[in-house]
Amino acid sequence: MARKGSLRRRIVLLLTLAMVAGGVYTAVSFVQRSEVLITERCTAVGGGSAELATDQAANAGLITAVAVRRGLPARAASIALATAMQESKIRNISHGDQAGPDSRGLFQQRPSQGWGTAEQVMDPYHASNAFYDALAKVPDYQALNITEAAQRVQRSAYPDAYAQHEVMARAFASSLSGQTAAGLDCSLRAPDEAGDPAAVQERLTAAFGDVPASTDGSTLVLDAEGTRAWALAQWAVANAKALSITEVQAEGRGWSRQDRDGWQPSDVPAGQVRVTVAEAPTP
């Protein structure tokens, strides 16, 4: 009888261990599947709500950062984003169409029309600055409808086409310029590789110009406050996928790639924007 009882206990123990192992496997599999099922996208609010794919959001961040660097109003960025969405879907494409076979880049600018060389119009920084240079020559462009202002710059065969992108343009321009705090959120899978604070700083400097910064381990610490802090912070969120950014903190709020709960209260010190990148996995 004692042997039968001992055997029964062993069987129960083995069955319990098997159930636990199965539960762990199921949980891990669920997490892995949930990562795969995530639709990566960025959502902005501010004068409306809109979504962009992550590569589009990163380009929108660059276009808006150039406007911020030049001291232009968010309205200028709205016009630029509506234009880029109509012309290229906010992607830096290397081909044109029948109407403009030599058109290239975010704004489909034509070297034959004086926008720069073929290499220059494919440079997003040059293309954005060229667009704003032309926009600045439009009298009272801030008082114009977005589609009318865009048409004054582009002289498109479809002058009313830009209007369909106004809600998206306002939402992303407002968030990425810092006018709408905590207005940009990106839903992302876990990073594929480690990030580099120096790479983040290099890309950010190219967009905004020099920003006082230091490094704290895997975190880039930027000195900024108010609207500028939010412009830098939400630019970082828009570039989180490409730069393996996992956390962004600014003005008492924090965004986490892992939690996917949007901006939450944070104890970040006043006057700082903290951008944390993924660390290399432990061997």
93-125 confidence digits (pLDDT tens): 988 665 677 889 999 999 988 899 999 999 999
98 shares a domain with 207: no
Which pLDDT belongs to residue 47?
Answer: 78
Residues with Cβ within 8 Å of 282's Cβ and at least 6 positions away in sequence, in order, are none
Q: Does residue 66 lie in a domain region?
A: yes
Q: Does residue 18 lie in a domain region?
A: no
Residue that finishes a domain, picked among 152, 176, 200: 176
254 shares a domain with 157: no
Beta strands in the chain (DSSP E): 41-45, 49-52, 184-187, 213-216, 219-223, 245-250, 253-256, 264-265, 272-277
233 shares a domain with 132: no
Domain count, the chain: 2
Which pLDDT belongs to residue 3?
Answer: 55
| 210-220 tens-digit pLDDT | 999 999 999 99
pLDDT at 197 over 70: yes
Handedness of CA 178, 180, 144, 49 (dihedral sign): positive
Q: Which residues of 28-43 are buried (b: 16+ CB within 10 A; e: fewer)?
A: eeeeeeeeeeeeeebb
214 shares a domain with 167: no
Which pLDDT belongs to residue 32?
Answer: 41
Which pLDDT belongs to residue 29?
Answer: 40
Average pLDDT for 243-269: 95
Which pLDDT belongs to residue 158?
Answer: 73
Q: Does residue 10 lie in a domain region?
A: no
Q: Does residue 12 lie in a domain region?
A: no
Which pLDDT belongs to residue 33?
Answer: 42
Which pLDDT belongs to residue 4?
Answer: 55
Residue that finishes a domain, picked among 123, 152, 176: 176
200 shares a domain with 106: no
141 shares a domain with 82: yes
Confidence of residue 6 (pLDDT cuts 50, 70, 90): low
Residue 233 main-chain phi, psi, to 5 deg? -65, -45
pLDDT at 21 over 80: no
Q: Does residue 9 lie in a domain region?
A: no
Among 33-37, 47-51, 151-155, 156-160, the range scoring the smallest mean pLDDT is: 33-37
Across the chain, what does the average pLDDT equal?
Answer: 89
170 shares a domain with 135: yes
149 shares a domain with 223: no
Q: Does residue 7 lie in a domain region?
A: no
SS3 content of the chain, % helix, strand, coil (to 5): 50, 15, 35
164 shares a domain with 68: yes
Residue that finishes a domain, picked among 153, 176, 199: 176
Separation of alpha carbons 266 and 279, rounded Å = 21
Q: Does residue 35 lie in a domain region?
A: no
198 shares a domain with 172: no
Q: Give me the domain span that covers residue 70.
A: 43-176
Looking up tokens 């209260």 gives: 265
